Each structure stands twice: as structure tokens, then as C-alpha cells.
Amino acid sequence: MSDPKRSRMIILGSGPAGLSAAIYAARAGMKPIVIQGMQPGGQLTITTDVENYPGFAEVVQGPWLMEQMQAQATHVGTEFVYDIIVDVDLSRRPFRLTGDGGAIYEGETLVIATGAQAKWLGAPGEAELGGKGVSACATCDGFFYRGKKVVVIGGGNTAVEEALYLTNHSDDVTLIHRRDSLRSEKILQERLFANPKISVLWNKSVEAFVGGGDPEGLVGVDLVDTVTGEKSHEPCDGAFVAIGHAPSTELFKGKLPMDDHGYLDVEKGTSRTVIPGVFAAGDVSDKVYRQAVTAAGMGCMAALDAEKFLAEADFEAAEAAE
């Protein structure tokens, strides 16, 4: 087995959080190593039009944006590794990570930026119409449906919040829920029912997302009544699947504290976890905003927190050696 690859900072994940951490760490001389994981570039690589990332007057493509961020990180001195980590040892520093091919990585600090994935229904047409009418983020894509008819699928806080947000762009929002009551907080339900732009279809589940062929995209959803079995069709221009997100934190179960939904706990206002030298950034610890720009900001925080941690550790080591 080859010798471990060592760095002052190992970054797990190469989305906006991981790449921003890399840029700041590289500029600070930390020579970070980014381990890209199963989805290099993160969720933006499967996003088409991006209109809400600062700095671009025109719509840009998600994959292009991530290519530019990676090029910037490379330019300032980041090393990229294509590997999938299957085990981590956080019991001592340097932290030790093992790739699925047996490669070993050791980092004096670790930034966890593995992101989160939207939960999907798995219904026919959902994947094929992704970015062509089907989305899992109203704040990302709602702007593209100004004045159009949209549906939101779900019954929890996420679904209600998405429906309410979409009324900023659409006067015809329909919430589709498979039960006869919502699971969201009472105050959110009150706002939803009081909004004249929103209607609710109860006891309905989505059987399929229906496209009209290129370039038309989504034209509606096929529904089935969960009580009677009756089938129906709901025309729409956009469909937002809002049944929650799952953070990619399986690797850290039992090793780092996380909430009931699997999001890593960090000290308020920082990226610090309970283990000194281990930081979390982006959607692994953010279940509220989940935006590329907030993830990038948290990546910056993680790099600055790590730089401060290492400076203090170096000072203590120097004092002890005297």
C-alpha cells in the first residue's frame, strides 16, 4: 500500500461549500486536498439555469459555474482527488480517511462539505423532466415560472413554505398531498389556507410527470386518489417536489453529533463541530437555507475557522517545544 496523502486540510465534497473552503485554504498556504466523492461539483452539476448566484448578469449553467469554481481552486493551489471515502477515523489528529480503493488520506483539519440530496418520488417522468419543469427547490427555480401554473407535492413544512414562496411568482399554486391533513406547523397552515393564490388537492399522489416533448417540457401530473383509487390529471407548467432533503452524513453516524434528520451539529455562528479541527459547511449542517451562495459562505467560514485552529495549535506546539 502506498504512503498516505497528507495535508493541513482535507475537504470532503466539491460543491460550492467545499470549493470555497479550498480557495480560502489554498490562499492561506494550507495546500488543501479536495476529495470529490460520488458527485463531483455537487448538486449544481445537475442544475441547468442558475440565475441567483451573485456576479452574473445573465443566466449561467450549473455545470459551467462549478467548473469555474474548481478552476479557481486549482489555480490557487488546491489538489483534487477522485475518490470515495468509506471510513473516517476522527479519534486523533491527523484525521485518517480511507478511500474505497484502500488509499489513505491524513489531514490536520477536516472540512465536511458532502452536501445533501433532495428526496424524490421516483415516479415516471420525474428524472427525465428534471430542469424541464420538475424541480426540488422553489427559491432556486420559482422565478422561471412567473405567471404560470405550478404544483407543489408534499405536506410538511418544506412543502407549505415552497407553496407560499411560489405565490411571489405565480397566482395559481396547487399543493398536492397524499393525506387529508398537513404535517406542517400550525402557523404555516394558517398562512397557506389564507392565501387566495393557493389551492389544495387532498388525498392525491403523483403517478407520473407528463411531458409534452422537447422543447415543451412538463405539461402536467397524473394523479391517483389515495382513498378511492380514482385517476385524474392536473395540468401545470412547473412541479416542485417538496418531501424533504437527506444530508450526506452516513459516514459520520456515531462519530459526530447530528440532529434527528442527520444534519451535523455545529457551534452556533461557526463551522466548528464538537471535535477540534473538524468543521462542517454547506448543506450537511444547513437545513434552513440550502442555497449555493450560503453554502459557499459557509465554506469560507470553515476555511477561516480551520486556519485559526491551526495557528493556535502551531503556537501551542512551539511553546511546548521550548
**Residues annotated as part of the active site:** 137, 140-141
| Dist. CA 105–CA 68, nearest whole Å | 26
Which helix (H) or strand (E) element contains residue 263? none
| Dist. CA 177–CA 248, nearest whole Å | 26
* Strand pairing report for 134-135 and 238-241: parallel
DSSP string spanning 114-149?
A: --EEE-----TTTTTTBTTTEES-HHHHGGGGTTSE
| Dist. CA 106–CA 87, nearest whole Å | 12
